[in-house]
């Protein structure tokens, strides 16, 4: 893309102009450093120059492995300034998955943080014969991009890099391939074109001009997640302050909100529960909070009531996917006596998003009827890298099939009940049942902190729900009592065939409840007696 002159432009050029206008305003805080917007702009250009000197050219496919470090957004912008394709992989990814990604992405360069993980990045670097390797921080293979950018390395922009390489000035558009969270199995590489990032610029402009306070956002969402990318870039493009944290610690979270006057954040439901249950929360100062986003999975209404009582009407329920990052939102969450069911909703379509509920044959279903959620938005993905058949199944005539099951009410609020793959399919009961209503009932018991439900095989019913429950300290509730509670609240049809008490629910790399791990746990230690016997 060009701006009418002989200089190539990308969305990063517009971002750098914004940064210049924001000037000495604080931009990034993390890893013991605090950068202004002028610092960020200088480091992005310096890092781009160091990459170009290291042989990175427009169109290069760069595999990136790092956590939620400050260098993440700087690297993304530097590579996109050069017109590169970034392939983001989590440092907690298994070696088998990384090997699959390497084969799929065919990287022409590799950038990693030697401080992450157990040396996996170094092992991958050693196995990439003939591929340039860069590191972010000391002790790694290849040039240290962080040091070169911070020391005022060569300041080159994309046209200079193209000329230096003997390439045309009009370079390829920047692209990203982001790792999914792995909720339904092996993560995929979700392809986002530059048009996605220009939509993020437009979204940030709405924040700047829409009367929203400048964000002071505390983020635990790394750049290898689509949610991390949009969180990071919306904050930077709107002129806010982004506080990056590598690891989740509820005590540090509570202290940081008070100390830094944080007014925006995003947590998953398990993270929210840890904050609510933490001994440091009583008396902690959350008066600065404006937008307490909760998403990446369903939150139990009982726990949301606790959060509303503690934090006030600042909770904002959000729903999105790697494939369609922003779908719905329900800001200013309160308990509405006229609509108590809204605590189970993830809100209304956000921005330009259109939502439809469709049957298995694609028929649009009326309000109140469960079906698959389909969405249409300009913030959707371009496809799965190297998986054209899956892309064709998921991206249909501009609509994204979410593979989530839910319904809309008459006012346009969306209610999710399960993942399509997680439906509990029964032969005897003649219809599918879903985990979400059962989990909400279980979590509503005062002696239950969290619950997760999976479907397990049963010789008679085909499948039965099976519950894993985290009890509160000192809890005396029994499995039989919880089964009776679900029976009374929902019906015998929804009653778990068994309840197992656990110290904590397993989480995947995105801090979502890992139902794949729960299924593996059940398969490895299946009760000796009938499924219907409480554990």
Token match 């309000």: residue?
367
389 with 438, same domain?
Answer: no
pLDDT above 80: residue 8:
no
Domain finish residue from 192, 215, 237: 192
pLDDT above 80: residue 75:
yes
290 with 390, same domain?
Answer: yes
Q: What confidence category does residue 461 fall into, taking pLDDT thresholds of 50, 70 and 90?
A: low
pLDDT above 60: residue 168:
no
Please state, in angstroms and rounded to a whole number, the distance separating the CA atoms of residues 330 and 295: 11
User: How many distinct structural domains can be found in the chain?
Assistant: 3
177 with 115, same domain?
Answer: yes
Identify the pLDDT of residue 170.
61
The share of the chain scoring above pLDDT 90, in percent, equals 61
Helix boundaries (H) for 238-387: 250-260, 269-277, 301-311
| Stretch among 138-142, 227-231, 252-256, 355-359 having the lowest mean pLDDT | 138-142
**Greater confidence, 534 or 138?**
138
Please state, in angstroms and rounded to a whole number, the distance separating the CA atoms of residues 144 and 183: 34
Phi, psi of 358 (to 5 degrees): -125, 150
**Greater confidence, 527 or 513?**
513
pLDDT above 50: residue 530:
no
For residue range 179-209, what is the model confidence (pLDDT) as tens digits?
775 555 566 789 999 999 999 999 999 999 8
- Is residue 243 within 8 Å of residue 30, measured between CB atoms? yes
- β-pairing, 216-219 vs 264-267, is parallel
pLDDT above 60: residue 2:
no
Q: Could you count the other beta carbons within 10 Å of the beta carbon of residue 518?
A: 21
* Torsion sign over Cα 388, 391, 393, 395: negative
Residue 4 lies in a domain: no
471 with 339, same domain?
Answer: no
Identify the pLDDT of residue 117.
59
pLDDT above 80: residue 149:
no
Identify the pLDDT of residue 349.
97
Identify the pLDDT of residue 5.
41
CATH of the domain at 353: 3.40.50.12780
pLDDT above 50: residue 109:
yes
Please state, in angstroms and rounded to a whole number, the distance separating the CA atoms of residues 252 and 245: 10
User: What is the span of the domain harbouring residue 408?
Assistant: 248-420
291 with 409, same domain?
Answer: yes
Q: Angle between the 435-443 and 479-489 helix axes, to the nearest 10 degrees?
A: 120
276 with 399, same domain?
Answer: yes
pLDDT above 60: residue 93:
yes
CATH of the domain at 516: 3.30.300.30
Q: What confidence category does residue 178 fall into, taking pLDDT thresholds of 50, 70 and 90?
A: confident
Helix boundaries (H) for 238-356: 250-260, 269-277, 301-311
Q: Could you count the other beta carbons within 10 Å of the beta carbon of residue 390?
A: 12
Mean pLDDT of 292-312: 92
Identify the pLDDT of residue 97.
74
| Stretch among 38-42, 114-118, 374-378, 394-398 having the lowest mean pLDDT | 114-118
Three-state secondary structure call for residue 153:
coil
| Stretch among 60-69, 93-102, 291-300, 419-428 having the lowest mean pLDDT | 419-428
275 with 405, same domain?
Answer: yes
Residues linked to residue 415 through DSSP beta bridges, in sequence order:
345, 407
For residue range 508-520, what is the model confidence (pLDDT) as tens digits?
877 788 888 898 8
Q: What confidence category does residue 261 fall into, taking pLDDT thresholds of 50, 70 and 90?
A: very high
User: Using alpha carbons only, how large is the chain's radius of gyration in Å?
Assistant: 24
Domain finish residue from 192, 216, 240: 192
Mean pLDDT of 429-439: 76
Mean pLDDT of 71-88: 94
Run of H or E residues at 436: helix 435-443
pLDDT above 90: residue 139:
no
429 with 400, same domain?
Answer: no
Q: What confidence category does residue 6 fall into, taking pLDDT thresholds of 50, 70 and 90?
A: very low
pLDDT above 70: residue 268:
yes
Token match 């509670």: residue?
485
Identify the pLDDT of residue 435.
87
Identify the pLDDT of residue 494.
87
Identify the pLDDT of residue 79.
96
pLDDT above 90: residue 421:
no
Q: Which two tokens stand for residue 118?
A: 């157990």
pLDDT above 90: residue 293:
yes
295 with 380, same domain?
Answer: yes
**Greater confidence, 493 or 3?**
493
Please state, in angstroms and rounded to a whole number, the distance separating the CA atoms of residues 72 and 43: 12
Identify the pLDDT of residue 431.
64
Domain finish residue from 192, 221, 240: 192
Mean pLDDT of 68-85: 94
Phi, psi of 375 (to 5 degrees): -135, 150
Please state, in angstroms and rounded to a whole number, the distance separating the CA atoms of residues 117 and 128: 18
447 with 411, same domain?
Answer: no
**Greater confidence, 9 or 289?**
289
pLDDT above 50: residue 303:
yes
Identify the pLDDT of residue 104.
78
For the chain, give the mean pLDDT. Answer: 87
Identify the pLDDT of residue 187.
62
Residue 377 lies in a domain: yes
Q: What confidence category does residue 480 fall into, taking pLDDT thresholds of 50, 70 and 90?
A: very high
431 with 397, same domain?
Answer: no
pLDDT above 80: residue 423:
no
């Amino acid at each position: 893309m060009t701006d009418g002159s002989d200089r190539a432009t990308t969305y990063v050029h517009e971002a750098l102009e914004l940064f210049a206008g924001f000037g000495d305003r604080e931009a990034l805080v993390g890893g013991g450093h605090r950068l202004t917007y002028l610092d960020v702009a200088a480091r992005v250009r310096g890092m781009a120059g160091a990459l170009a000197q290291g042989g990175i050219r427009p169109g290069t496919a760069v595999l990136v492995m790092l956590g939620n470090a400050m260098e993440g957004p700087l690297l993304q912008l530097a590579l996109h300034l050069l017109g590169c394709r970034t392939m983001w992989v989590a440092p907690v990814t298994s070696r088998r998955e990384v090997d699959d990604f390497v084969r799929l992405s065919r990287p022409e360069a590799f950038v990693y943080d030697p401080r992450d993980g157990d040396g996996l990045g170094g092992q991958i670097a050693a196995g990439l014969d003939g591929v340039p390797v860069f590191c972010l921080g000391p002790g790694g293979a290849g040039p240290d991009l962080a040091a070169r950018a911070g020391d005022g390395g060569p300041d080159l922009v994309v046209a200079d890099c193209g000329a230096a390489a003997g390439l045309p000035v009009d370079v390829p558009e920047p692209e990203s391939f982001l790792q999914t969270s792995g909720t339904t199995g092996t993560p995929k590489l979700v392809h986002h074109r530059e048009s996605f990032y220009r939509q993020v610029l437009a979204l940030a402009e709405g924040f700047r001009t829409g009367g929203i306070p400048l964000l002071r956002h505390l983020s635990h969402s790394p750049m290898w997640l689509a949610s991390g990318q949009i969180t990071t870039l919306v904050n930077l493009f709107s002129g806010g302050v982004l506080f990056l944290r590598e690891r989740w610690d509820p005590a540090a979270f509570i202290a940081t909100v008070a100390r830094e006057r944080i007014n925006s954040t995003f947590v998953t439901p398990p993270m929210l529960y840890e904050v609510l249950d933490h001994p440091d929360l009583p008396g902690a100062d959350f008066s600065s909070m404006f937008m307490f986003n909760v998403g990446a999975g369903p939150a139990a209404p009982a726990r949301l009531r606790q959060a509303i009582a503690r934090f006030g009407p600042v909770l904002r329920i959000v729903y999105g996917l790697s494939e369609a990052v922003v779908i719905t939102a329900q800001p200013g969450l309160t308990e509405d006596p006229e609509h108590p069911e809204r605590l189970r909703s993830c809100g209304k379509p956000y921005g330009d998003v259109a939502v439809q509920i469709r049957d298995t044959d694609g028929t649009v279903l009326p309000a109140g009827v469960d079906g698959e959620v389909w969405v249409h938005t300009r913030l959707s993905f371009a496809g799965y890298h190297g998986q054209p058949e899956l892309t064709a199944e998921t991206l249909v005539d501009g609509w994204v099939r979410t593979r989530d099951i839910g319904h809309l009410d008459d006012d346009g609020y969306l209610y999710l009940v399960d993942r399509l793959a997680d439906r509990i399919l029964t032969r005897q009961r003649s219809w599918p049942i879903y985990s979400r209503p059962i989990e909400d009932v279980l979590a509503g018991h005062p002696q239950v902190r969290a619950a997760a439900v999976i479907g397990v095989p049963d010789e008679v019913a085909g499948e039965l729900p099976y519950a894993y429950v985290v009890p509160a300290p000192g809890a005396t509730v029994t499995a039989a009592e919880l089964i009776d509670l679900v029976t009374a609240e929902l019906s015998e049809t929804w009653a778990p065939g068994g309840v197992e008490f656990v110290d904590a629910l397993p989480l995947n790399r995105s801090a979502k409840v890992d139902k794949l791990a729960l299924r593996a746990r059940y398969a490895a230690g299946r009760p000796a007696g009938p499924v219907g016997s409480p554990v």
